[in-house]
Structure 1
């Protein structure tokens, strides 16, 4: 999964927003940074380029992602870590960042409380989350193709999880429950450019839990072929571009 994720999804979905988030992070002039849910290091690399004097610890729950990320971006210190039980001392970091990871935390207030604990006084928490599924051109096209191929039994993962945490009021409430105050919530829309619709389909089908779900089905191969073709029919052949919307949040301690 990490290889497919890094090859097909990272350049299209994550690098454009990594550049945006890294520029915001650099403007805060942090000395010590903790990245949560770092994946294979798209934001990590952007952070180290935008803030070259900062010390960056990149963490992820998935050991395979940590192994892949540390090989791709050795300038950071990599560590396997659960966001809900961070293995770092109190007040260690000026900045905690997380790109498209908070949606996956089973208990977000618990994770946010850990963020608050490891933040230094006047530290900041900077993170983003995807907007509704309909605001992501690639994900919406993929889900439509999936539902056409599998009427009534298409996995709902994309809408429920990556695109299931879209209300700034809920984010503010979860932060407040952890003792953090929402400072800003900025909606950002950027274009993703892919070599082909088929490449994006492959990324979804092999680099996300959707693929793991389908793999257990007897007709997995024909499903993948149908979804790829339907997605190509929607977006066209050759290089394809689609708009993607996310919200960028900043938070700080209530004290």
Structure 2
């Protein structure tokens, strides 16, 4: 029973666990990578899409040139509330916004960035066209997406463990969405459909994911992502049992802890 209506649902409970557990588990290395790449660009104004709880925002605020303007947006107000509560090294303009209908004028920004958000856009070409529209000529659109789930150890083990609890109706959120847009050819096609005339530069970046215990990694995925909603849709009382099953599978594969596994993403850059 896929639940596409909940695929982008990051309510208060999910947002809090996302920030406390999932951000350090898998997002921080790529946030630094993306911010370093952006800081090398001659960008006086940067728009961030799908900022989530602000892991990239905080890195950008610390690394962008003095005086550079930073605007961070997300569709989910609960995520933005957590992001704003974390604080930033410089002033940031926070806006609730839909990436497919951005509330900004044409050619408003020197760079547009997005960390692990493109997979959630219902119409990716439309969202990319919006990013292109608000970019100034010569500006850069820089984003990353997760590679296939088999290249991301913890996500793969958790997804299979939870699916095994519901063999007639397996929850496949992790495989379907976060890890469902890892094709360089598809990304390039969508960017062309969005009106970009140049070819994207797409780089595979591998890093390490670490957790003190298998349970903390399982908790991050099962309760700090919309996988939580898929589990509860199948069994309203089954969330903790699913988390424990995922933890046991992680322990069987990686040991009792601390645990480490591979994470892998595609980093995409294209100019307008």
TM range, smaller chain:
over 0.9
Change (3 A) 1:150 1:119: same
| CA distance in 2: counterparts of 1:90 and 1:165, whole angstroms | 27
Determine the structure 1 residue equivalent to 2:71.
57
| CA distance in 2: counterparts of 1:241 and 1:163, whole angstroms | 19
Q: In structure 2, which of residues 226, 246, 252 is the aligned counterpart of residue 227 of structure 1?
A: 246
Q: In structure 1, which of residues 158, 169, 190 is the aligned counterpart of residue 174 of structure 2?
A: 158
Please say if 1:169 is aligned against 2:185: yes
Aligned length: 253
Does the 8 Å contact 2:251/2:257 carry over to 1?
A: no
Query: C-alpha offsets along residues 225-247 of structure 1, whole Å, 9 cap, x if unaligned?
Result: 22222222222112111111111
Does the 8 Å contact 1:58/1:78 carry over to 2?
A: yes
| CA distance in 2: counterparts of 1:134 and 1:78, whole angstroms | 35
TM-score, normalised via structure 1 length: 0.95
Query: C-alpha offsets along residues 175-203 of structure 1, whole Å, 9 cap, x if unaligned?
Result: 11111133300111011121222111101
Does the 8 Å contact 1:44/1:73 carry over to 2?
A: no
Please say which of residues 176-185 and 61-70 is displaced more in the overlay.
176-185
| CA distance in 2: counterparts of 1:124 and 1:103, whole angstroms | 19
TM-score, normalised via structure 2 length: 0.89
SS at match of 1:182: coil
The runs of at least 4 aligned residues of structure 1 exceeding 4 Å deviation read: none
Give structure 2 stretches of 5+ with no counterpart. 1-13
| CA distance in 2: counterparts of 1:150 and 1:19, whole angstroms | 37
Give structure 1 stretches of 5+ with no counterpart. none
Please say if 1:23 is aligned against 2:42: no
